[in-house]
Amino acid sequence: MNVTRNSRMSPLDPTAAEPFYRQIYDRFRSAIANGLLKPGDRIPSARALTKELGLARGTIETAYSLLAAEGYIQARGQAGTIVTPGLTPQIAKASAAPRTERVAVASDFRPDSILPFQMGLPALDAFPRKIWARLGARCMRSMQPSDMVHPSVFGLYGLRAAIATYLQVSRGIDCSASQVFVTSGYRHTLELIAHALFKPGDRVWIENPGYPPTRDLLGLMHMTSVPVPVDADGMIVSEGLKLAPRARAAVVTPGHQSPLCVSLSLPRRLALLDWAARNQGWIIEDDYDGEYRYVSRPLPALKSLDRDGRVLYAGTFSKVLLPALRLAYLVVPQEQVQRFEDVSRTFVGGSPQLTQAIVTAFITEGHFARHIQRMRKLYAERREATAAGLESVLHKHIRIDPQPGGMHLILRLKGRRSDRRLVARMWDEGLYAEALTDWMVGSSGASALLLNFTNISTQRGAETLGNRILKLV
Ligand SMILES: Cc1ncc(COP(=O)(O)O)c(C=O)c1O
């Protein structure tokens, strides 16, 4: 058998027990293990192989996705897809995924957009594609002329109402549909808030470490970020009070602090609300993955304690559904609705109507709640499997933080190793990681890797990837 670029692949076996994607996966993997394909060799594009084998494109992409997620192949843009440099036949042999293993990743993403441990992604293989396709087809069929014109800049009313109901039930937030504004993502939400409530030069507390886009965006909009340290109870509010007591706002991730995954303690929640009420300041609650808590039920949102109308709540569908949807939302206090409507008319173009309609049906017909429940269970399992796999191989070099929730692991590097240097080496080898140092303003000496686990389906897979990291430590 030969699977190199200029030769043909022999026909697949339609009577075999393995599905086609698995047969293709196996052929490539054994070609690498046998040395027929060498590190750096180019393999056929998914399009070319689709044509050659006469199969659905999704079948080929599923096989390539699995190979890419497990680190066998890498897409290099214009240069095509190649066998991962540095991959030895021994590794390929040792790391063969067991036959009963689930497909690690979804069948429709472009292999060049995904690396093992890639941050910010939900489990792509677990997305309920069939339900989505059914709802999508139904929404398309029922499109009326009124669905074909510019969408409301505040969001589809049905979606705003569905979000309000969901927030009431799941996050303890009491709000009406008119307080919900649909946006195209967290950054858009933050931008909208800044246009509505801030002026250049305003000081804003941000968490340190914290989500880099928050400080980047505030900086671009001429706000002055005030980095406030975070400990095991979340943002240290007393430090914020010392650093900038008259700040205009605070941006926090109370559910699972981004990136440390700790929760903001109740005393700190109350202290923050008290500060905002006295100071007429704003709290921006970025609740990007509050649902994903594994040690207990999800904590209610900070917004649920907001008696003075000082909290602006930012939610997103990126983690609980898919980042490709580009749908998020903002809940504003009742007294601010008018202001946000005015600003939205100028700064918002509206989000795609059809996507909003599908998400609305998905929520109102109960699929959303079920999906979140399933994902919570799946992520708890994948988190454990990934942590166990990495720990078994890397325990001399790392310590994994215990965390109540979230979608990534924090691997503290022992000794004086630089997280940035290790991350750069991992990127060179086709492994994704982010350095905690890059999420910090100033230096604290903390050195850690941030690794997403939601697309790692087995402990064995994690061990294989751990072995690749081991060579780079
Ligand atoms: C801390 C944090 N906030 C918000 C988001 C959501 O961003 P978006 O809605 O633009 O996908 C993310 C996604 O990765 C995140 O990590």
pLDDT for residue 6: 44
Summarised one tens digit per residue, pLDDT across range 245-257 is: 999 999 999 999 9
Cα(153)–Cα(470) distance, rounded to whole angstroms? 50
**Closest C-alpha residue for ligand 1 atom 14:** 120
Choose between 445 and 387: higher pLDDT. Answer: 387
Residues 6+ apart with CB under 8 A from 460: 95, 97, 98, 389
Instruction: From 331, 312, 304, 303, select the one nearest 251 (Cα to Cα).
Output: 312
**Closest C-alpha residue for ligand 1 atom 13:** 120
pLDDT over threshold 60, residue 460? yes
The ligand 1 atom at the shortest distance from the C-alpha of residue 314 is 4
Regarding the beta carbon of 260 and ligand 1, being less than 6 Å apart is answered: no
Question: Are residues 106 and 455 in contact, defined by beta-carbon separation less than 8 angstroms?
Answer: no
- Mean per-residue pLDDT, 128-136: 97
Regarding the beta carbon of 185 and ligand 1, being less than 6 Å apart is answered: yes
Mutate to test the pocket of ligand 1, among 190, 211, 407, 452 (most ligand atoms within 8 A of CB): 211
pLDDT for residue 101: 33
Choose between 100 and 205: higher pLDDT. Answer: 205
Regarding the beta carbon of 288 and ligand 1, being less than 6 Å apart is answered: yes
Summarised one tens digit per residue, pLDDT across range 106-124 is: 333 334 557 899 999 999 9
Distance 187 CA to ligand 1 centre (A): 8
Under DSSP, the state recorded for 106 is -
Cα(225)–Cα(219) distance, rounded to whole angstroms? 7
Summarised one tens digit per residue, pLDDT across range 27-64 is: 888 888 878 888 888 888 888 888 888 777 777 887 88
- Burial status of residue 298 (CB atoms within 10 A of its CB: 0-12, 13-18, 19 or more): buried
**Closest C-alpha residue for ligand 1 atom 3:** 288
pLDDT for residue 17: 65
Question: Mind spelling out the 3-state secondary structure of 376-410?
Answer: HHHHHHHHHHHHHHHHHHHCCCEEECCCCECCEEE
Query: How many residues are recorded in the chain?
Result: 473
Q: Tokens for 80, please give them.
A: 């095509």
The ligand 1 atom at the shortest distance from the C-alpha of residue 317 is 9
Mutate to test the pocket of ligand 1, among 318, 355, 454 (most ligand atoms within 8 A of CB): 318
pLDDT over threshold 50, residue 100? no
- Mean per-residue pLDDT, 416-443: 92
Summarised one tens digit per residue, pLDDT across range 153-193 is: 999 999 999 999 999 999 999 999 999 999 999 999 999 99
Distance 120 CA to ligand 1 centre (A): 7
Of 100-104, 148-152, 195-199, which range is least confident?
Answer: 100-104
**Closest C-alpha residue for ligand 1 atom 6:** 186
Regarding the beta carbon of 328 and ligand 1, being less than 6 Å apart is answered: yes
Domains of the chain: 20-95 (1.10.10.10), 133-368 (3.40.640.10), 373-470 (3.90.1150.10)
**Closest C-alpha residue for ligand 1 atom 15:** 288
Regarding the beta carbon of 306 and ligand 1, being less than 6 Å apart is answered: no
**Closest C-alpha residue for ligand 1 atom 7:** 186
Of 24-38, 308-322, 358-372, which range is least confident?
Answer: 24-38
Distance 288 CA to ligand 1 centre (A): 6
DSSP string, 416-467: T--HHHHHHHHHHTT---EEGGGG-SS--S--EEEEE-TT---HHHHHHHHH
Regarding the beta carbon of 187 and ligand 1, being less than 6 Å apart is answered: yes
> Considering the chain, what is the average pLDDT of its residues?
89
Cα(202)–Cα(215) distance, rounded to whole angstroms? 13
Residue with tokens 């293993």: 101
pLDDT for residue 139: 97
The ligand 1 atom at the shortest distance from the C-alpha of residue 323 is 11
pLDDT for residue 429: 86
- Mean per-residue pLDDT, 68-87: 81
pLDDT for residue 284: 98
